[in-house]
Structure 1
């Protein structure tokens, strides 16, 4: 009788330990958050050779994650190429995407947005010794580079330079190499991204911004379609970031070295 009671107690203890271990394991999982960012955009979203993450989007992502209740150590950044952002959100690969992600009607058919959190303008980056491109129409018969999945180059072809020879690469770094090697004549995307590249030490004096405001690009945080609860929480975090001065601090830290003339923080408009 005593043996049976001891065995029962031991079995109960084993079950308790097993349940505790399971609970701990699942709690550890739920404490993590995966966020999509760019890995190759200096000043915006960059993974450095030593494995650190820097840039304005990264600062925004960390601030929002903190407001959602996550510690910095629990953030897992995932690379979000332009052409894969909607897929990553739809599949649930990430909780949200902060990756120079312009809000537009076409994208809103597949995902929802919170924000916006930055107003940028499309511009051109050219070689510093090239004075032949002063206007977007000057790109006719020239080679124009942008990344696959970006709307920037298509905007130029549709609205300004229909005869431009469009070259699409997988990342902006490839476009930049092509620009430096004279394989392309101009790189087009948002001015904050271009300023980030031009500000890198290794590129000082090589490139310049054309200074054109070809479009208004309201950056939003991409989330799963119809997730109004997360949208409201992120919007609240973004408004707090502006109000407490963290937004302005992040702008100066990431874009200041390039003398980037940023617009004021935009009002949050993406609400359901």
Structure 2
């Protein structure tokens, strides 16, 4: 009887101990409301955008968005090895935030009224513009209207090329490819005359070693794209991330990140935007 009582007592203690341990692990692994107290912070980025967010063959991650997100994470109290990178495809970003799959997203994420109805944004941290990329020896395309009768490339489903056809150059010959890399190959081989999307994305591709000196941005600035850091609606992370972004600009880390990622493309970036200053 005594053995049974002692065994039962031990079982109760072990059960309580395991339960407490499990709860502690869950609490530690979460971002603790953005306080930096957790062991890990999960950040959504693009994996396939050179210069912005790219997963390298080595397994490491590089790009302007990655540098910004890393700076923010460190300001929140996390070390580099405590960051978990998660791919955030354009169509999945709001859902990932709503479900809590990530703590925040920095993935060429333009702030729009439609998106702000679903998630909150810190920033903006970059003002990009829709532009075109042409071959470095291109002399005929000096204005968006010059794209009339030219072969204009963009990825399937993109609104960028449609914007140009609808508003600026209705006679442009739209050619849609599966990815930007295919458009770049077509541009290099003269199968197309121009590639259009955000200038930051174009600069990221043009800055890659294999493309340096082959292409140039036209500098048309056809739309404003305010890149923000997305967080779950109502999250207290928004204010903390804004504080980190201000610090990044003040200590010149923002300028360094721009130069490191876009410099080889001679990207004429806008100055760092003021927090909350969304250009329509």
Q: Same fold (TM over 0.5)?
A: yes
Q: Is the 8 A contact 2:135 2:187 kept in 1?
A: yes
Shift of 1:150: 4.5
Partner of 1:55: 63
Partner of 2:115: 107
Q: 1:94 aligned to 102, 122, 130, which one?
A: 102
Q: Is the 8 A contact 1:41 1:172 kept in 2?
A: no
Shift of 1:62: 1.3
Partner of 1:190: 198
Partner of 1:23: 23
TM-score (norm. length: structure 1)? 0.86
Provide the C-alpha distance between the structure 2 equivalents of 1:9 and 1:209, rounded to a whole number of angstroms.
Answer: 73
Single out whichever of 161-170 and 239-248 deviates more from structure 2: 161-170
Partner of 1:37: 45
Shift of 1:35: 1.9
Q: 1:204 aligned to 198, 212, 215, which one?
A: 212
Go from structure 1 to structure 2 and tell me whether the alpha carbon gap of 1:150 and 1:235 turns closer, same or farther (over 3 Å shift). farther
Single out whichever of 194-203 and 4-13 deviates more from structure 2: 4-13
Provide the C-alpha distance between the structure 2 equivalents of 1:65 and 1:195, rounded to a whole number of angstroms.
Answer: 25
1:49-89 Cα offsets, whole Å, 9 max, x none, are: 11111111101111222233433223222222334333433
Provide the C-alpha distance between the structure 2 equivalents of 1:21 and 1:228, rounded to a whole number of angstroms.
Answer: 27
- 1:85 counterpart = 2:97: no
Q: Is the 8 A contact 2:127 2:227 kept in 1?
A: yes
Structure 2 unmatched runs, 5+:
31-38
Shift of 1:197: 1.4
Partner of 1:260: 267
Shift of 1:210: 1.7
Q: Is the 8 A contact 1:40 1:172 kept in 2?
A: no
Shift of 1:209: 1.7
Structure 1 unmatched runs, 5+:
none
Single out whichever of 128-137 and 49-58 deviates more from structure 2: 128-137
Shift of 1:194: 1.6
Go from structure 1 to structure 2 and tell me whether the alpha carbon gap of 1:196 and 1:215 turns closer, same or farther (over 3 Å shift). same
Question: C-alpha root-mean-square deviation of aligned residues, in Å?
Answer: 2.6
Partner of 2:33: none
Partner of 1:164: 172
Shift of 1:2: 4.1
1:208-257 Cα offsets, whole Å, 9 max, x none, are: 22232223322111233x32523222212211222233222222222223
Go from structure 1 to structure 2 and tell me whether the alpha carbon gap of 1:42 and 1:112 turns closer, same or farther (over 3 Å shift). same
Q: Is the 8 A contact 2:126 2:273 kept in 1?
A: yes
Q: Is the 8 A contact 1:145 1:175 kept in 2?
A: yes
Single out whichever of 190-199 and 56-65 deviates more from structure 2: 190-199
- 1:14 counterpart = 2:22: no
Q: 2:242 aligned to 225, 235, 247, which one?
A: 235
Provide the C-alpha distance between the structure 2 equivalents of 1:148 and 1:107, rounded to a whole number of angstroms.
Answer: 22
Q: The residue matched to 1:76 in structure 2 has which SS? A: strand
Q: The residue matched to 2:276 in structure 1 has which SS? A: coil
Q: The residue matched to 2:74 in structure 1 has which SS? A: helix
